[in-house]
Structure 1
Amino acid sequence: MKKAIYILSFFSILSFSSCEKYLDVEPRASVSDKQTIYDNASSQTALTGVYAALASGSYYGTTFQSIGYLNGDNIQWTGSQSQVQEFINHNVSADNSTISSAWSAIYLTISRANQVIQKVPGVTDPLLNQSTKDQIVGQAYFIRALAYFDLARTWGSVPLITKPTETATDNSGIPRSPQNEVYAQVLNDLDKAEPLLTETTDRHRATRKTVWALKSRYYLYRGDWANAELYATKLIVDNANYKLLKPFGSFFQNDARATQESVFELFYSAAETNGHRGQWQPQQNGGTRQWAPNDAFVALVNDPLIGGTRSVLVAKDNQNRWYGNLYYRSPATDPSYLIRIAELYLIRAEARSNQAPDGATVANDKLAGAIADLNAVRDRAGLAGTPAVTKANVLLAIENERRVEFAFEPHRWFDLVRTGRASVVLNITDVRKYLMPIPNDQLLIDPALGPNNPGY
């Protein structure tokens, strides 16, 4: 049972350091569940635990993010662990420990969110008014939506678990739901979160604006171009709070955090660090440089006509080797960047392009708007406007822009899969490899999860 994280109880997995006093209770079997979230303080602490799971090393701290870029075409593996090379070779096995860790971490996050969603509305405490309850529950709905979004785009068909876990076997035997149903759950959670949250700007906590940003990404993946454009626009027009910063490195260099570039980022401190930098930084900076930009990406990002000021993403170590420099702080307090305003510009550009008829040129209003959005991102990187003038060329230009803009963020693999371009760009001959395998250790624990995804 020890690896079946997605079926473990909330009380055996919540271990964030700030929650220790809250969790100083007897073993689960002898404690009434009602004692766990029962007042304002325990409700707030439970929400902190949800964010802690989201920020963990196996989720957005490092592991899940690595699936998004190691599978792409920007990164090389310099270490000796074959499981990482499996992503670069696009031949991931069901025994891959990265896959298993990410799966478990995402379901851990869902488990914590389920507790908050179910329990907080029933809490009676004069210090916990309805508005505060709404904020807590709305944030939990948002995080659960993000978790199921990540499950859907990574594995496709997965179990839908939306009720709190009371015992270690509660979720055993639940079959996987089809990918479309998982995506429907994402939208359902976002729709529930939206009215509960306020239309404020908070770059570390979910607000209604954060919901809009994830809805824009969701609709992009689902091919609903009009809604993808609509929700991206809600943030882009809010230029008092969100804007593309010049030069490119302004949102992360010099210990910057929570800049106007950021829509949603995860906070880390010297006490709770982000281990991501250790994989990127070279030995001279206390890292291992176990993954590094490959030659193709180094050439792109250092090309003044392609990378522009984004060349600050890479640097050379004392052995003249290139390394990635998005995560660099010591102690490792680098934020994890989940949504940036640059993404919203490029989502809107892609959505607008896809609403233009085939064969459209710049005379088409939607295509002209797409080019304007693309050029906004290019201008911020110190580049001239795109030479693309037809729909097909603009869509390709957006794809190439996203490759460089989000090189060390978890987008490239998922971009190529959702557009059907992975087979051409990455030379993947078996399209079944577009989805990752269900971890073997989970299948052994719960046969109801099987059979595995086709091709594994």
Structure 2
Amino acid sequence: MKNISSKIYYIIVGGLLVSCNDFLDLSPVTEISSANYWQTQEDAEAGIIGCYDALQPDSYFGFDLYTYGEVRSDNCFAGGDNPNNFAIDNFTENPTNANITRSWRQLYFAIGRTNTVLNRVNGMEDDLFEEAKKEQIMGEAYFLRAFHYFNLVRLWGNVPLVLTETTSLDPDNIKVSKADAAEVYTQIINDFELARELLPTQAPAGGRLSKGAAEAFLAKVALTQSNYTDVITWTEAVMGRGYELLTTYDHLFDQEHKNNAEVILSVQYIGAAEGNPFPELVLPTPEASFEFIKFHTPTPNSLAQFEAGDVRASTAFVERSGTPYLFKWRNGDAFASADHNIIMRYADVLLMRAEALNQEDRTTEAIILLDQIRHRAGLTPYTGDQSKEAVDTAILQERRVELMYEGHRWFDLKRKGFQFTRDAILAAKGITITENQMEFSIPQEEIDRNSNLDN
């Protein structure tokens, strides 16, 4: 199946968008774009590919989201030589942190692209499209907007909620106040549900979205909100979509089995100018092209989580000269890797379902799913305490080792509450955090530009 390439978007659209160095980076469309673009199905297709492209930079899944998901947690130290990453690792970041600022801007830039697609494609005549193509593109845009806001609200809490295309730099349009997190979550769920209605059952190409992806993220949102009934509903839907666990765990990451039956969503890269920078930053040589102090180094605490005989250990990390490195990517290629970044896979869905079933007093069913994951890892079935509390601990532990270094750990800690998170960070890093460090501050440059924002 072909990979997504953003080159089409830059060729067709790149000269038509005016980049705005103002609040939220919501780029307005010029008169040229309004008059001459969004006229054909090909225009709409190029526009939605541009929305996928927004996932790729180092300010998003090319680096920063892994920093927040793993370095902020008990799994990784910052490594490298960037003081902004050290601050995130040590919980000493402030509103001027350059990495957090660029992530905020990238997320709203990505939202701006989805809002433009939703507005423009919705206004195009249906007879311009092949059957169901317009619905697919609209569904993809709704999904991606929900996904961006899901990342924003989990990292910052209350954030501005922008749902319309920005076509003017009028202060009334761009100086947006924060919305309550509950309102943001309502919109996220609404967008994912719309995406589920509109997306195709089968993704048309590798990296493109389908109904199963929307259902998986509806489950993830429900789990974040401790809505276990909905987790059970949505994971059951995903289980009927034909996904399956790969027999060999390492095949998920060896880059020889991309877009396989377990992967529900991944950020796609094709290498060269469309390459993934992350593998070069974390891999040792010879998998990486250059030797330097690598980023995202595993904590001893994370390495100690793997049981004897767990085949996932040799996939998750590798030791060279006594130093551990992340190993779920295999080709650095001088910052231009074609390795994909997996965002959601079927094992995550099964573990979400197990957690929800256990919370709903269906512990026997939960353990069956837990054992499916353990069996693939070469481990014996769970034989520990059958109480709800003990099984919940076992499932969270299984999530940690199954999804190790894939960007999930901080968010799993957060949804378990401040005390749980504080204890985990203290045990792994010797750092005592405070409750207000569970969320990032809004970047200072955004506050300086927008009098409606504060921390």
TM-score by length of 1: 0.88
Aligned pair partner of 1:339 in 344, 349, 368 = 344
Q: Could you say which residue in structure 2 is the equivalent of 1:227?
A: 230
Q: Could you say which residue in structure 1 is the equivalent of 2:424?
A: 425
Q: Could you say which residue in structure 2 is the equivalent of 1:310?
A: 313
Q: Could you say which residue in structure 2 is the equivalent of 1:21?
A: 11
Over 3 Å counting, the alpha-carbon distance change for 1:435 and 1:102 in structure 2 is: same
Give the C-alpha shift of residue 369 in structure 1.
Answer: 0.8
User: Which deviates more from structure 2 when the two are superposed, residues 286-295 or residues 186-195?
Assistant: 286-295
Deviations along 1:191-243, whole A, 9 cap, x unmatched? Answer: 211211222246511111111111111111111101101111222244xx311
Give the C-alpha shift of residue 125 in structure 1.
Answer: 7.2
Distance (whole Å) between structure 1 residues aligned to residue 414 and residue 162 of structure 2: 26
**In the alignment, does 2:206 pair up with 1:216?**
no
Give the C-alpha shift of residue 441 in structure 1.
Answer: 1.6
CA contact (8 A) 1:69 1:413 kept: yes
SS of 1:59's partner is coil
What is the CA RMSD across the aligned residues, in angstroms? 2.1
Over 3 Å counting, the alpha-carbon distance change for 1:115 and 1:299 in structure 2 is: same
Distance (whole Å) between structure 1 residues aligned to residue 280 and residue 342 of structure 2: 17
**In the alignment, does 2:442 pair up with 1:446?**
no
Q: Could you say which residue in structure 1 is the equivalent of 2:271?
A: 270
Give the C-alpha shift of residue 429 in structure 1.
Answer: 4.1
SS of 2:159's partner is coil
User: Which deviates more from structure 2 when the two are superposed, residues 203-212 or residues 182-191?
Assistant: 203-212
Distance (whole Å) between structure 1 residues aligned to residue 353 and residue 359 of structure 2: 10
Distance (whole Å) between structure 1 residues aligned to residue 441 and residue 223 of structure 2: 24
In the alignment, residue 310 of structure 1 is paired with which amino acid?
Answer: A
Gaps spanning 5+ residues in structure 1: where? 1-14, 357-365
CA contact (8 A) 1:75 1:291 kept: yes
Give the C-alpha shift of residue 150 in structure 1.
Answer: 0.7
Give the C-alpha shift of residue 129 in structure 1.
Answer: 3.7
Distance (whole Å) between structure 2 residues aligned to residue 81 and residue 173 of structure 1: 32
Q: Counterparts of 1:82-101 in structure 2 under 5 Å? A: 82-101=83-102
SS of 2:179's partner is coil
Q: Could you say which residue in structure 1 is the equivalent of 2:149?
A: 148
CA contact (8 A) 2:126 2:134 kept: no
SS of 1:379's partner is helix
TM-score by length of 2: 0.88
User: Which deviates more from structure 2 when the two are superposed, residues 146-155 or residues 120-129?
Assistant: 120-129
Give the C-alpha shift of residue 95 in structure 1.
Answer: 1.4
In the alignment, residue 206 of structure 1 is paired with which amino acid?
Answer: L
Give the C-alpha shift of residue 267 in structure 1.
Answer: 1.3
Deviations along 1:240-294, whole A, 9 cap, x unmatched? Answer: x311122211211153211111111121102411111022112542254222112
Q: Could you say which residue in structure 2 is the equivalent of 1:353?
A: 358
CA contact (8 A) 1:246 1:381 kept: no
SS of 1:21's partner is helix
Over 3 Å counting, the alpha-carbon distance change for 1:32 and 1:56 in structure 2 is: closer
Over 3 Å counting, the alpha-carbon distance change for 1:125 and 1:196 in structure 2 is: closer
- List structure 1 runs of 4+ shifted beyond 4 angstroms: 25-30
How many residues are aligned here?
423
Q: Counterparts of 1:39-438 in structure 2 under 5 Å? A: 39-124=40-125, 126-129=127-130, 131-169=132-170, 171-201=173-203, 204-238=207-241, 241-271=242-272, 272-284=274-286, 285-287=288-290, 288=292, 289-301=294-306, 303-304=307-308, 307-317=310-320, 319-331=321-333, 332-356=337-361, 366-388=362-384, 389-420=386-417, 421-427=420-426, 428-438=432-442
Distance (whole Å) between structure 2 residues aligned to residue 67 and residue 26 of structure 1: 30
Distance (whole Å) between structure 1 residues aligned to residue 436 and residue 69 of structure 2: 17
User: Which deviates more from structure 2 when the two are superposed, residues 148-157 or residues 330-339?
Assistant: 330-339
User: Which deviates more from structure 2 when the two are superposed, residues 134-143 or residues 421-430?
Assistant: 421-430
Deviations along 1:369-423, whole A, 9 cap, x unmatched? Answer: 1111111111111111123311111111111111111121111111111111212
CA contact (8 A) 2:283 2:332 kept: no
Q: Could you say which residue in structure 2 is the equivalent of 1:8?
A: none
Over 3 Å counting, the alpha-carbon distance change for 1:59 and 1:168 in structure 2 is: farther
Over 3 Å counting, the alpha-carbon distance change for 1:57 and 1:18 in structure 2 is: farther
CA contact (8 A) 1:255 1:329 kept: no
Gaps spanning 5+ residues in structure 2: where? 19-28, 427-431
In the alignment, residue 382 of structure 1 is paired with which amino acid?
Answer: G
In the alignment, residue 176 of structure 1 is paired with which amino acid?
Answer: K
Distance (whole Å) between structure 1 residues aligned to residue 131 and residue 161 of structure 2: 28
CA contact (8 A) 2:255 2:340 kept: no
Over 3 Å counting, the alpha-carbon distance change for 1:392 and 1:26 in structure 2 is: closer
Distance (whole Å) between structure 1 residues aligned to residue 71 and residue 203 of structure 2: 32
% identical equivalent positions? 26
CA contact (8 A) 2:116 2:165 kept: yes
Distance (whole Å) between structure 2 residues aligned to residue 160 and residue 25 of structure 1: 25
CA contact (8 A) 1:39 1:124 kept: no
CA contact (8 A) 2:39 2:124 kept: yes
Give the C-alpha shift of residue 32 in structure 1.
Answer: 5.6
Q: Could you say which residue in structure 1 is the equivalent of 2:22?
A: none
